[in-house]
Homo-oligomer: A and B are copies of this chain.
Amino acid sequence: MSPVYLAFTITTIISLSSSNWVVYGTEWKPSWSTGAAEEAEAVAAIPCSGHGRAYLDGLVLSGHEPICECNPCYSGSDCSNFSSNCSADAGSGDPYFLEPFWMRHAASSAMLVSGWHRMAYIYSDHSYISQLLVNHIKKLHKTVGNAITKNRYIIFGVGSTHLLNAAVNALSSVNNSSRTPAKVVATEPLYPVYRTQTELHNSRDYRYEGDTSLWKNKTDINGTTFIELVASPTNPDGKLAKAVLEGSNVKIISDRAYYWPHYTPIPSPADDDLMLFSLSKFTGHAGTRFGWGIIKDKEVYEKMLTYLDLSTMGISRDSQLRALKLLNVVLEGDGKQIFQFAYSTMRNRWTRLNQIISKSKRFSLQKLSPQYCTFFKRVRALSPAYAWLKCEREEDKNCSKILEGGGINGRGGSMYGADDRYVRLSLIRSQDDFDILVNKFTLLVAKG
């Protein structure tokens, strides 16, 4: 074969094999990236019977075949063995329900990282924060209509978890004329990290002081600062919520982790003083540990920047790159695809669970009101991230135990500062986990 013909053939074949490839001049051949590309595709091609996944950083057998990591209740080298007496996992909020979306967008969401990508602490503007990613986040909120970002400061954290304490730390010291520690409060049932994280640091500047009901109309204590943590939608029960406390010395941290069309109607863009969002419940990438804050007050923002600097020297540039890549995919076209996928999945799950539970007098689910959603431009049905299940019988005081008896593992109400008559069930895990949950409930409800 003559060299000219060879070059022509390469060009033709590469053009045929993938429309994404640009052929520079007459020929573009992958060079140093090929090993990484092949490795990733080989791992992705391992089917694990559809009940597990193989990962690039998973364990590898001696024959160099990566091991399948099986979904709960599945086992075997290819995850094909199902164990029917295994309990449904409805515990943690691992957001696997979005995984199929990313598998369908394999080409656009893939990224190849060179060994020398962003080795320094800082970006070229000397900050720890990618301005390009800030711009993407602003565009995202405009597309979704779930938060005002104009004239706001944006900060990043290692998940919104990291930003919770950054915010408490900042708010407890800004404009705090009182010498008493700021009182950190929240309304029960609540996300337990609000309390445990605040207590972890055992700070002289702030102290966890329990449920907001203890402090309603009692906030005028020598100018003591109150910091109210408000999740909206709430975790565990998915309601749109507002702050309970009022007064010039009350500062609000708005946890907006679940304020996406996946889980709730969006009545209007949120415009709170300090809002926290996270990749975890939005794209489903909990493991990337990427959260962001939207802040009105410059002094609070600067205090939080200092916290970010001193606690971790900013956040992983690898996580920021991943977030950028994922946001690029989300914003493709009209920017609605991921929301349609997420809503229809969650809607479907809620409907199925509700159909079963509604046949029972023993159990009930939280009541949520349909509402007009400015994103979908209609009144939309319910699709919460968690079921907040109640055991209705007088004698069923420990609802977790009742469910465990039926092969269902959730999280007991007392973890959220509520009665153990309640259990939180995660609906955002894999389809396998949800299917097992529904099957176990069907049997449990049939028992009466």
Residue A368, interface by CB 8 Å: no
The answer to whether A289 and B314 have CB atoms under 8 Å apart is: yes
Which single residue of chain B is at the shortest CB-CB distance from A23? Answer: B38
The answer to whether B110 and A110 have CB atoms under 8 Å apart is: no
Residue A307, interface by CB 8 Å: yes
The answer to whether A115 and B329 have CB atoms under 8 Å apart is: yes
The answer to whether B30 and A124 have CB atoms under 8 Å apart is: no
For window 90-115 of A, CB contacts with B under 8 Å fall at 92-96, 98-99, 102-103, 105-115
Contacts of A320 in B (CB 8 A): 57
Residue A318, interface by CB 8 Å: yes
Q: Given the complex of chains A and B, what is the CA–CA distance between A40 and B28 in angstroms?
A: 13
Residue A39, interface by CB 8 Å: yes
The answer to whether A56 and B111 have CB atoms under 8 Å apart is: yes
Contacts of A174 in B (CB 8 A): none
Which single residue of chain B is at the shortest CB-CB distance from A34? Answer: B18
The answer to whether A37 and B37 have CB atoms under 8 Å apart is: yes
Residue A118, interface by CB 8 Å: yes
* CB < 8 Å neighbour of A33 from B112, B311, B329: B112
Which single residue of chain B is at the shortest CB-CB distance from A35? Answer: B20
The answer to whether A287 and B121 have CB atoms under 8 Å apart is: yes
The answer to whether B33 and A21 have CB atoms under 8 Å apart is: no
The answer to whether B115 and A105 have CB atoms under 8 Å apart is: yes
Residue A117, interface by CB 8 Å: yes
Copies per complex of this chain: 2
Segment at the interface with B among A195-203, A225-233, A373-381? A195-203
Residue A419, interface by CB 8 Å: no
The answer to whether B312 and A312 have CB atoms under 8 Å apart is: yes
For window 59-116 of A, CB contacts with B under 8 Å fall at 59, 69, 92-96, 98-99, 102-103, 105-116
* CB < 8 Å neighbour of A289 from B38, B116, B313: B313
Measured as residues with beta carbon below 8 angstroms from the partner, the interface class of chain A is 35 or more
Would A40 and B114 be within 8 Å (CB), given that A18-B31, A312-B162 are in contact? yes
Would A113 and B111 be within 8 Å (CB), given that A119-B284, A315-B289 are in contact? yes
For window 25-62 of A, CB contacts with B under 8 Å fall at 28-42, 44, 53, 55-59
* CB < 8 Å neighbour of A287 from B55, B112, B118, B284: B118
CB distance from A142 to the nearest CB of B (A): 20
CB distance from A60 to the nearest CB of B (A): 9
Residue A316, interface by CB 8 Å: yes
Contacts of A40 in B (CB 8 A): 33, 111-114
Segment at the interface with B among A6-14, A216-224, A398-406? A6-14
CB distance from A97 to the nearest CB of B (A): 10
30 of the cross-chain contacts (CB-CB < 8 Å) are A9-B9, A17-B30, A31-B41, A33-B112, A34-B37, A36-B107, A36-B110, A37-B112, A39-B111, A56-B111, A92-B120, A94-B121, A95-B119, A96-B119, A99-B116, A102-B114, A102-B116, A110-B115, A111-B112, A113-B322, A115-B325, A157-B312, A158-B312, A159-B312, A169-B201, A197-B310, A200-B307, A201-B203, A289-B313, A318-B318
With contacts A203-B203, A318-B319, A319-B319 known, what are 4 further pairs, Cβ within 8 A? A30-B34, A39-B112, A158-B158, A162-B312
